[in-house]
Structure 1
Amino acid sequence: MVSIENGAIAVAANGHAAAAGKTIATEGVALPPASQSNGAQPETDPSRKRKMTSLPLEVGTRVNCRWRDGKYHPVKVIERRKLPSGGANDYEYYVHYTEFNRRLDEWVKLEQLDLNSVETDVDEKVEDKVTSLKMTRHQKRKIDETHVEGHEELDAASLREHEEFTKVKNIATIELGRYEIETWYFSPFPPEYNDCTKLFFCEFCLNFMKRKEQLQRHMVDGKKNKVYGQNLCYLAKLFLDHKTLYYDVDLFLFYVLCECDDRGCHMVGYFSKEKHSEESYNLACILTLPPYQRKGYGKFLIAFSYELSKKEGKVGTPERPLSDLGLLSYRGYWTRVLLDILKKHKGNISIKELSDMTAIKAEDILSTLQSLELIQYRKGQHVICADPKVLDRHLKAAGRGGLEVDVSKLIWTPYKEQS
Structure 2
Amino acid sequence: MTKMADNRSSVEIVEGCRLPVLRKNQEHEDEWPLAEILSVKEVSSRKLFYVHYIDFNKRLDEWVTGDRLDMKKLQFPKKEAKTPTKNGLPGSRPSSPEREVKRKVETVPLATQVPPATPVPSLPSSAEASQASVFPAVRETTTFKAREDHEQISSLTTNGTARRLIPPQPGRKRKANCGGTDEDSQDSSDGIPTAPRMTGSLVSDRSHDDIVTRMKNIECIELGRHRLKPWYFSPYPQELTALPILYLCEFCLKYLKSLKCLQRHLTKCNLRHPPGNEIYRKGTISFFEIDGRKNKTYSQNLCLLAKCFLDHKTLYYDTDPFLFYVMTEYDSKGFHIVGYFSKEKESTEDYNVACILTLPPYQRRGYGKLLIEFSYELSKVEGKTGTPEKPLSDLGLLSYRSYWSQTILEILMDLKPDNGERPQITINEISEITSVKKEDVISTLQYLNLINYYKGQYILTLSEDIVEGHERAMQKRHLRIDPKCLHFTPKDWSKRGKW
TM-score range, shorter chain: 0.7 to 0.9
Structure 1 segment 388-403 matched on structure 2, within 5 A: 388-393=463-468, 395=470, 400-403=476-479
- Which whole-Å CA distance do the structure 1 matches of 2:318 and 2:339 have between them? 20
Cα distance in structure 2, aligned partners of 1:154 and 1:106: 31
**3-state SS of 2:431 partner:** helix
State the SS of the aligned residue for 1:239.
coil
Residue 123 of structure 1 and its aligned partner are, at CA, apart by 4.9
1:145 corresponding residue in structure 2: 118
Query: What are the residue-to-residue correspondences of 1:394-413 with 2, within 5 Å?
Result: 395=470, 400-413=476-489
Q: 2:300 aligns with which of 213, 230, 243?
A: 230
Asked if residue 81 in structure 1 is aligned to residue 45 in structure 2, the reply is no
**Residues 1:365 and 1:181: Cα distance change in structure 2 (over 3 Å):** same
- 2:4/2:70 contact within 8 Å kept: no
With over 3 angstroms needed to count, the CA separation of the structure-2 counterparts of 1:250 and 1:291, relative to structure 1, is same
Is 1:255 the counterpart of 2:330? The answer is: no
Counterpart of 2:439? 363
What letter matches 1:128 in structure 2?
S
| Contact 2:58–2:232 (CA under 8 A) maintained in structure 1 | yes
1:305-320 aligned within 5 A: 305-320=375-390
* Shift, 1:379, TM fit: 9.0
Aligned to 2:224: 177
SS at match of 1:65: coil
Alpha-carbon deviations, 1:365-393, whole Å to 9, x = none? Answer: 00000111112467998x34133525315
Q: CA deviation at 1:119?
A: 2.2
Q: How far apart are the structure 2 equivalents of 1:100 and 1:285?
A: 22
Letter in 1 for 2:438: A
Distance 1:283 1:104, change over 3 A: same
Does 1:105 find its partner at 2:58? no
Residue in structure 2 matched with residue 290 of structure 1 by the alignment: 360
Which residue number in structure 2 is paired with residue 50 of structure 1?
none
Q: 1:186 to 1:397 in 2, by over 3 A?
A: farther
CA displacement at 1:257 relative to structure 2: 0.9
| Partner Cα separation in structure 1 for residue 215 and residue 95 of structure 2 | 18
> How has the CA–CA distance of structure 1 residues 164 and 151 changed in structure 2, closer, same or farther, with 3 Å as cutoff?
farther
The match for 1:209 is 256
Higher relative contact order (CA closer than 8 Å, sequence separation 6+): 2
CA distance in 1, matches of 2:212, 2:41: 21
Does structure 1 retain, via aligned residues, the 8 Å contact 2:3–2:69? no
Per the TM alignment, residue 294 of structure 1 is displaced from its structure 2 partner at its CA by 0.7
Does residue 119 (structure 1) correspond to residue 74 (structure 2)? The answer is yes
> Which of residues 383, 389, 393 is equivalent to 1:323?
393
Q: Secondary structure at the match of 2:487?
A: coil
Indicate if the aligned counterparts of 2:14 and 2:37 stay in contact, CA closer than 8 A: no
- Aligned partner of residue 385 in structure 1, secondary structure: strand
Give the structure-2-normalised TM-score: 0.65
Q: Which amino acid aligns with 1:284?
A: A
Whether the 8 Å contact between 1:342 and 1:386 is mirrored in structure 2 is no
| Residue among 394, 402, 412 paired with 1:342 | 412
| Whole-angstrom CA distance in 2 between matches of 1:106 and 1:215 | 28
> What is the deviation of 1:188?
2.0
Q: List gaps (5 residues or longer) in structure 2.
A: 81-92, 110-115, 120-180, 187-192, 196-204, 276-293, 417-422
Look up the match of 1:35: none
- Partners of 1:215 and 1:167 lie apart in 2 by 29
Q: How many angstroms does 1:259 deviate by? A: 1.3
Is the partner of 1:386 in helix, strand or coil?
strand
Distance of aligned partners of 1:114 and 1:123 in 2 relative to their CA distance in 1, 3 Å threshold: same
8 Å CA contact 1:56, 1:91 repeated in 2: no
- The alignment partner of 1:256 has SS state of strand
Code of the aligned partner of 1:176:
L
Partner of 1:95: 51
CA distance in 2: counterparts of 1:162 and 1:149, whole angstroms: 18
**Aligned residue number for residue 271 of structure 1:** 341
Deviation at 1:154, TM superposition (A): 7.1
CA positional deviation for 1:150: 6.6
Q: Hey, what does 1:12 align to over in structure 2?
A: none
- For these two proteins, the number of residue pairs brought into alignment is 362
Change over 3 Å in CA distance of 1:83–1:184 after alignment to 2: same
Identity across aligned pairs (percent)?
Answer: 45
Displacement, 1:241? 0.5
1:302 deviates by 0.3
- Cα distance in 1 between the residues matched to 2:324 and 2:61: 30
Which amino acid in 2 is paired with 1:121? F
Give me the TM-score of the superposition, normalised by structure 1: 0.77
Once the two structures are TM-superposed, the CA of residue 179 in structure 1 deviates from its matched residue by 1.5
**Alpha-carbon distance in structure 2 between the residues aligned to 1:78 and 1:402:** 44
Matched, 1:187 2:234: yes
SS class of match (1:303): helix
- What is the distance in 1 between the residues matched to 2:454 and 2:349? 29
Q: Is the 2:299–2:324 contact (alpha carbons within 8 Å) kept by the matching residues of 1?
A: yes
SS in 2 for 1:337: helix
Contact residue 230 and residue 249 of structure 1 kept, 8 A: yes
Secondary structure in 2 matching 1:127: coil
What's 1:66 paired with?
A: 23
| Residue of structure 2 aligned with 1:387, choices 462, 465, 482 | 462
Q: Shift in Å at residue 185 of structure 1?
A: 0.9
Of 240-249 and 229-238, more deviation after overlay is shown by 240-249
Contact kept in structure 1, 2:18 and 2:35, CA below 8 Å: yes
Which residue matches 2:403?
A: 333
Match 2:429 to one of 344, 349, 353? 353
SS state of the match for residue 77, structure 1? Answer: strand
5+ residue gaps in structure 1?
1-18, 29-52, 137-142
Contact 2:38 2:52 in 1 (8 A): no
For 1:216, the aligned partner's letter is: Q
After superposition, the C-alpha distances for 1:12-58 in whole angstroms (9 at most, x for unaligned) are xxxxxxx9998754xx4xxxxxxxxxxxxxxxxxxxxxxxx443533
Q: Which amino acid is the alignment partner of residue 81 of structure 1?
A: V
What residue is the counterpart of 1:372 in the other structure? Answer: 448
